[in-house]
Amino acid sequence: MKEMAGIRPRWLGAMALWAGSDHYSLWQALRAQDFHLPVERVARVYRIDFHPALGFGLRSRFVVAYRSERRECLVVLDSLPAALAHFKPVAISPVGAMQLYLKLVWNEPAAILSLLLIPLPIFLVMILFLLWVNLVIQNPDILSLFSNESCDAVCASKVLKVHSMVGALFLMPFALVILPVGLMVFQAPRYRSAVNYRFAQSYCAITVAIGVYLLAQLMVFFPFKNYGKFVMSGFGPRAELFLKNRHK
């Protein structure tokens, strides 16, 4: 049977344990449940010593580096459990402790580059939308394909702009929901560091929450009924009449 070191954290300490490990769930951290650390998998124990002039009465903290079943973990403890008493702590400064975390982050460049996976496609969509408006919707040769006797090139351009704006309006919040979910399902489980894994989880959760909020607001306030009538009018006289009366 594996020897486990039991730790009873406070709430803030539990959140720190969640951020540095991959086997302590968020539900357990929110309830500040006991944290069990596999003693046989501990690689090294560090003691963070604060300088008397800068510590402001802070007592020493301990950083435990160990490996779970899947990832490298790094957790901060207020005190060292009795099961880890046989480890000789290595004294480090707060800057040294930060360097330990940064080392785990920089060892996986994909974790840093993955942060661009969400804003970069959205930025590209915005650029493509501008190119669509400038090169397609305002191109007379393209507009001639949509214009007819009842809806000239100016009318066709206005109709295409409305449809393009609606498409972009819905595409942005959808991207804020779909892209983080894809990052969480396909990329985050491949990280070897629990710090990067938890950071990706937090990043994706916040982005999904923002996307869901924007999408919910859009679904509530968007005039689907009027837009449905506008879509059914096509490129006919009703579309031009609808655009002329949009402010009435």
Sign of CA dihedral 233, 237, 243, 247: negative
Least-confidence region, from 15-19, 25-29, 38-42, 230-234: 230-234
CA gap 192, 103 in Å, rounded? 12
SS3 (DSSP) at 127? helix
CA gap 246, 99 in Å, rounded? 59
pLDDT at 57 over 50: no
CA gap 66, 137 in Å, rounded? 58
More confident residue, 247 or 60: 60
pLDDT at 52: 58
CA gap 107, 51 in Å, rounded? 29
CA gap 173, 182 in Å, rounded? 15
Compute how many other C-beta atoms are within 10 angstroms of the C-beta atom of residue 153: 16
Q: How far is CA 212 from CA 91, 185, 200, in A?
A: 46, 18, 18
Sorted by sequence, the CB contacts under 8 Å of residue 178 that are 6+ apart come out as none
pLDDT at 56: 47
- Section 140-146 average pLDDT: 84
| E strand or H helix that includes residue 111 | helix 109-113
Domain ranges of the chain: 4-107, 112-244
Nearest to 104 by CA among 63, 59, 69, 61: 63
Per-residue pLDDT of 25-47, as tens digits, reads 999 999 989 998 888 889 999 99
Per-residue pLDDT of 110-128, as tens digits, reads 887 877 777 887 888 888 8
CA gap 1, 203 in Å, rounded? 36
pLDDT at 73: 92
